[in-house]
Structure 1
Amino acid sequence: MTGPRRAVITGIGVVAPGEVGTKAFWSLLTEGRTATRPISAFDATGFRSRIAAECDFDPVREGLDPREIRRMDRSAQFAVVAAREALADSGWEPDSGPADRVAVAIGSAVGATVGLEDEYVVVSDVARQWVVDHRYAMPHLYGYLVPSSTAAEVAWLVGAEGPVTMVSDGCTSGLDSVGHALGLIEDDLADVVISGATDAPISPISVACFDAIKATSPNNAEPESASRPFDRRRDGFVLGEGAAIFVIEEREAARRRGAHIYAEIAGFANRGNAYHMTGLRPDGREMAEAIRVAMDAARLAPADIGYINAHGSGTRQNDRHETAAFKRSLGEHAYRVPVSSIKSMVGHSLGAIGSIEIAACALALEHQVIPPTANLRTADPECDLDYTPLTARRLRLDTVLTVGSGFGGFQSAMLLTSPRRAA
C-alpha cells in the first residue's frame, strides 16, 4: 500500500520589484533594501499616493518576441518569464511524461488591468466618447478581458493537457492557486503542476481605486520608507507588481528523477469571515482557524513553526488582526517565533504577492535565512511579537508558515517544510 501523495517545489521563477529573477529578488530581501519609488508607469500627478514598487522589466531583454509582447498583457508577460525561469531551475522537461498529467494553476487579482485600461483609452478617444468605437481595439482585447488567458499562456508554454485553472479571489490568489496545485497532486489528478500568480496593477484605475478608500500610503516624499508594516508610523500599503511561478511535483517522482527540492507544501487551508468587504475583526479568528486547519493537515504543532511570513500589508487594521491571529492559533509560541513582512521591500502586488511570499519562504528554507521587516523602527505597542526589524536573521529552519488576507474576508495559510524534515 502506498502512502499519501505529497507535493514539493522543485523550481522557482520570480519577477519582483527591482531587478528581475530569483537571485536578485533574494538579494534585495536579505539586504533589507526596498524597491519603492515614484511611479514611472504613468503620470501620477494629482493622485494621493504617487509611489509604487515597480519591476525593472523589459520584455525584449527577458526573451519575449514581438508577437508575444503584442499578444500578452504585462501581467501575462510576467507569468511566462517567471515560468521559463522556474522550468530551467527545476530541470523538468515538458515532454518528459504524459501531457494529461501536467496541470496549471495561476492566480491573479486584477488580470490584464494595464492592457484593458490602455485599450479603453484608445477606443473611447481618451474617455471623450461614452459609446466606444470597437474598430480601434487591438485584436487580442478579448484575451485581456478573460483572466484565464494568462493560465492558457503558461499551459501552452509547458504543453499542459491536464487541468488548467485561473484562481482569482483577491489578495489571497497567489496562496490559493498553489493550494489548488497541492490538491491536484494529492488527489492524483496531476503529477506536475506549474503554479503561482501574477499581477500588474500599477495603472491609473487601480491607483485611483485605492486612493479613494485611502488604503495606500501618501508618503510620497520618502518612498523608500513608505511601506512600514507593524510600525506605529505606518499610513497604508504600497502598491506593487510582479509574479512568482513554481514547478510543483509529486514528491516521489521528483526524488526518482533526482530533482532538487526546495520545500514540501505540507499543509494549506483557507477561510472566509463573512463580515465585511474590506474590514477585519480585530480578534483574527478566521485567520487563526485557517492556520489551525493547515497545521492539522500538515500534522504539525505550533512549536514546530520556525518562521512566519506575515501578510503585513502596513495598515493598522491588518497588523492588529494578524497579531491576534498568531497569538490565537499558536499560543505562547507566537511570542517566540520570528515574523516578518516582505511587503516592506516589494510592496503589495495584490494577487501575486502570496506566491512571491511563498518563493521567499522556500528560499528562506533553502538558505536558512529569514528576511527582515524593513522600515520597522518605531514598534507599535499593539503589535508585540518579534517582527524581525531591519536586518535579516540566520536561523535553523525546518518549517515556515505564510499567510494571506484579502478584501471580501478571505484568509489563507500555508505551511512549507524543509526536505531535511521529511528525511
Structure 2
Amino acid sequence: MSSRRVVVTGLGVIAPGGVGREEFWNRIVDGKPAVRRITAFDPSPFRSQIAAEVDFDPAAAGLTPREIRRTDRFVQMALVCADEALADSGLDLETADRDRMGVSLGSAVGATITLEDEYVVASDHGRDWEVDHRHLRPFLYQALVPSSAASELAVRYGAHGPAAVVSTGCTSGIDAIGRAFQLIQDGEADIMITGAADAPISPITVACFDAIRATTPSNDDPEGASRPFDADRKGFVLGEGAAVLVVEELEHARRRGATIYCEVSGYAARANGFHMTGLRPDGHELAEAISAALGQARLDPEAIGYISAHGSGTKQNDRHETAAYKRALGEHARRVPISSIKSVVGHSLGAIGSIEMAACALVLKRGVVPPTANLATPDPECDLDYTPLVAREVRAGHVLSAGSGFGGFQSAMVFSGAA
C-alpha cells in the first residue's frame, strides 16, 4: 500500500440556499430546506414541479462574458467553486509546481441545459427532424464533450498534470475525489483540484424522472418535500450545485504550512450488476464498498463517528442503504449518527457526492452533525439514528460517506481528522 497520504486543504461550495461554503454550512446545520417551485422554466406540464435551485449569477461571481458564453452552467459553478477552494487552500499558483497539479471533476449529466436549449433552437421547438447547424452557438462542441469541464479548470489555473471528468451517475462526486486520491497516492500528482458539478434542472431531466416516478409530486409543500428515511416520503427532490476540494500529498501541504481540514483515508467503489435503476434490498454491494473503504483506511467499523448518507428519499434507496450499514458496520450501525443533507439541498445528481464530502470535511473541523430535515415519522424499516430535525454536536475522528447511482454504482469514502 502507498505511503503517500492525502489531505484536504481547501473547500469551495455552491449549493441551493447560498453561494459559498459558509452559507452552505449554515443552511445544512440549521436544517432549512432550500426547495421551491421551479423558476428556470414553466414546470406546470410536469408531475414534479419543485426543485432545489441555486441563485447563481456567473457575472456577479466574477466570470467574464467570454467565460459565460463559452461554458454551461455546471462548468460556471465549478469554476467559481474552484476559485473559492484555491483561495481557501492558500496555495500560491505562482510558486506551485503546476506540472504536479491536476484536475479530477465529476458530473452525471454535463451540459444538459446548453444541449437542450440548442436543440430547441436548431429544431424549431422539435418541429424539424433535420436541424440547421447555422442556428447553433459556436461553442456547442464544448457542451457536447463533458471533458471540457476539466480542461476549463486546467487552463484557468495552469494545471499540467492529469485532467479528466468522471461520470458515474450519482456517485460521480465521490468517484472524482477518489480518482484524485489515487493519483496522489500513486505519485502522479502532488495537488489535485477535484469535486463535481451538475446543473440538471431542465425540462428534459424533469420529464425523465417523471417518467419513472422517482421525483416527489409534493408540489404543494416544497420545503417539506425532501423526506429521507421518513414514512411519508414520496421521492427525491432534484437539485443543482457544485463543490470543489483541493487535495494534496500530506508532506507537500505541511511544507507550505497549509491548514488541513482532514485526511482522505479510504475509498472504494462497486457495481451491483443487477438493474439499471433497481437496488438489491440486502445492500450487499454498498456494504462491500463501505467495508473496502474502511479496510483501506485501516479502521474498524466502531471508529466511524458520523455517516453522511446517500439518503435520496426514495423508499428503495433508503431501505437498501439502511441494510448496507447494518451489513457493513454490524451493531455499530445502531450507535453512529447518520444524516442526509439532501433533505436540505436536494439531489444534484453527480455533484451531490462532492457536496456531501465537503460537508464531511466541515463536520470533522467543526464538531457538528447536520440533521436530516423533515424526518418526523421514521420508516420502521429505516431504524437507525438518522439525526432527525436538529443538528448535534459530535466530535467524530472519522466520517463515512456513501453513495448510490443509476447503473448500479455504489461508492464509499472515509475522511479522518487532520493528521
- Give the TM-score, by structure 1 length: 0.98
Alignment gaps of 5+ in structure 1: none
Partner of 2:235: 236
Q: Secondary structure at the match of 1:243?
A: strand
1:239-318 matches, within 5 Å, as 239-318=238-317
Q: CA deviation at 1:127?
A: 1.2
CA distance in structure 2 between the aligned counterparts of 1:114 and 1:342, rounded to whole angstroms: 25
CA distance in structure 1 between the aligned counterparts of 2:414 and 2:2, rounded to whole angstroms: 20
The C-alpha deviation readout for 1:311-359, integer Å capped at 9, x for no partner, is 0000000001000000000000000000000000000000000000000
Q: CA deviation at 1:198?
A: 0.3
Q: CA deviation at 1:414?
A: 0.2
Q: Secondary structure at the match of 1:319?
A: helix
CA distance in structure 1 between the aligned counterparts of 2:397 and 2:85, rounded to whole angstroms: 23
CA distance in structure 1 between the aligned counterparts of 2:130 and 2:44, rounded to whole angstroms: 27
Partner of 1:375: 374
Partner of 2:114: 115
The question of whether the paired residues in 1 share the 8 Å contact of 2:368 and 2:392 is answered with yes
Partner of 1:96: 95
The C-alpha deviation readout for 1:208-252, integer Å capped at 9, x for no partner, is 000000000000000000000000000000000000001111011
Q: CA deviation at 1:78?
A: 0.4
Q: CA deviation at 1:96?
A: 2.2
- 1:153 is matched by which residue type in structure 2? E
Partner of 1:366: 365
CA distance in structure 2 between the aligned counterparts of 1:168 and 1:233, rounded to whole angstroms: 32
RMSD of equivalent CA atoms: 0.9
CA distance in structure 2 between the aligned counterparts of 1:404 and 1:69, rounded to whole angstroms: 31
Q: CA deviation at 1:97?
A: 2.8
CA distance in structure 2 between the aligned counterparts of 1:363 and 1:183, rounded to whole angstroms: 22
The C-alpha deviation readout for 1:356-392, integer Å capped at 9, x for no partner, is 0000000111110000000000011001000000001
Alignment gaps of 5+ in structure 2: none
Q: Secondary structure at the match of 1:103?
A: strand
1:315-330 matches, within 5 Å, as 315-330=314-329
Q: Secondary structure at the match of 1:385?
A: coil
Partner of 1:32: 31
Q: Secondary structure at the match of 2:18?
A: coil
1:174-213 matches, within 5 Å, as 174-213=173-212
Partner of 2:135: 136
Q: CA deviation at 1:158?
A: 1.4
The question of whether the paired residues in 1 share the 8 Å contact of 2:306 and 2:396 is answered with yes
The question of whether the paired residues in 1 share the 8 Å contact of 2:2 and 2:185 is answered with no
CA distance in structure 1 between the aligned counterparts of 2:92 and 2:161, rounded to whole angstroms: 16
- Give the TM-score, by structure 2 length: 0.99
Moved more, 149-158 or 269-278: 149-158
- 1:208 is matched by which residue type in structure 2? A
Length, aligned pairs only: 419
Percent of pairs with identical residues: 65
- 1:364 is matched by which residue type in structure 2? V
- 1:190 is matched by which residue type in structure 2? A
- 1:163 is matched by which residue type in structure 2? P
CA distance in structure 1 between the aligned counterparts of 2:367 and 2:292, rounded to whole angstroms: 26
CA distance in structure 2 between the aligned counterparts of 1:147 and 1:13, rounded to whole angstroms: 21
Partner of 2:333: 334
CA distance in structure 2 between the aligned counterparts of 1:230 and 1:196, rounded to whole angstroms: 26
Q: CA deviation at 1:157?
A: 1.5
- 1:321 is matched by which residue type in structure 2? H
Q: Secondary structure at the match of 2:273?
A: coil
Q: CA deviation at 1:18?
A: 1.4
Q: CA deviation at 1:3?
A: 7.3
Whether 1:74 and 2:73 are equivalent positions in the alignment is: yes
The C-alpha deviation readout for 1:140-174, integer Å capped at 9, x for no partner, is 00000000001111111111111101100100000
The C-alpha deviation readout for 1:32-61, integer Å capped at 9, x for no partner, is 111110000001111000000000101111
CA distance in structure 2 between the aligned counterparts of 1:214 and 1:239, rounded to whole angstroms: 12
Q: CA deviation at 1:29?
A: 0.5
CA distance in structure 1 between the aligned counterparts of 2:179 and 2:38, rounded to whole angstroms: 34
The C-alpha deviation readout for 1:186-210, integer Å capped at 9, x for no partner, is 0000000000000000000000000
